[in-house]
Amino acid sequence: MERASAGAPDVDWTDPDCPVARTLDLVGDRWSLLVVRDAMDGARSFTEFQRRTGIARNILADRLRKLTAHGLLAQRPAPSGRRQEYVLTDAGRALFPVIVTLRQWGERHAFAPGEAHSVLVDEHGTPVPELVPAGADGTPLDTDSTRVRRAR
């Protein structure tokens, strides 16, 4: 299985022992997550990413380079053979629950009641149920029922 390139030379870890901090160091800016979101939704070319996000070309080029260098995207020849396209790696696809959770948080907290917004649906058109972390016994987890065990 592919892994995000944790040892890439241009990463200066904010908090080397914290998985949340390391993840944010890799994908924590809005443009990176929007590129990943759009790749999950089928975008493949530089032009598609630029059109969907409205991101400046130089920033998009930088984010695509970083996401590729860190193993979240891979480049391959486009079907036409004339250009390269970007596809999610296993590590990039593994961000799906993160994107879903951000989306669901946004649906609850970033829109006024009744305000229209896009909805993530399954292959049958049914809205994706809310993701809730659960313990090994199925009990829902939250900040009151979990703690961080620090690295030693």
Query: Where are the domains positioned within the chain?
Result: 19-95
pLDDT for 130: 95
Separation between Cα atoms, residue 87 and residue 73, nearest integer Å: 5
Angle between helices 30-40 and 96-109 (to 10 degrees): 110
pLDDT for 4: 56
What do you get for the CA distance between the two ends of the chain, in Å? 27
Give me the residue label for tokens 């493949």: 44
Q: Answer for the pair 70, 5: CB distance below 8 angstroms, yes or no.
A: yes
For residue 32, which phi and psi values (nearest 5 degrees)? Answer: -60, -45
Whole-model pTM? Answer: 0.86
- What token pair was written down for 98? 């993160």
Q: What is the CATH number of domain 19-95?
A: 1.10.10.10
pLDDT for 1: 43
* Stretches in the chain below the pLDDT threshold 50: 1-2, 9
Separation between Cα atoms, residue 149 and residue 116, nearest integer Å: 41
pLDDT for 11: 73
pLDDT for 2: 47
- Identify each DSSP E strand in the chain by its residue range: 73-77, 84-88
Q: Answer for the pair 45, 38: CB distance below 8 angstroms, yes or no.
A: no
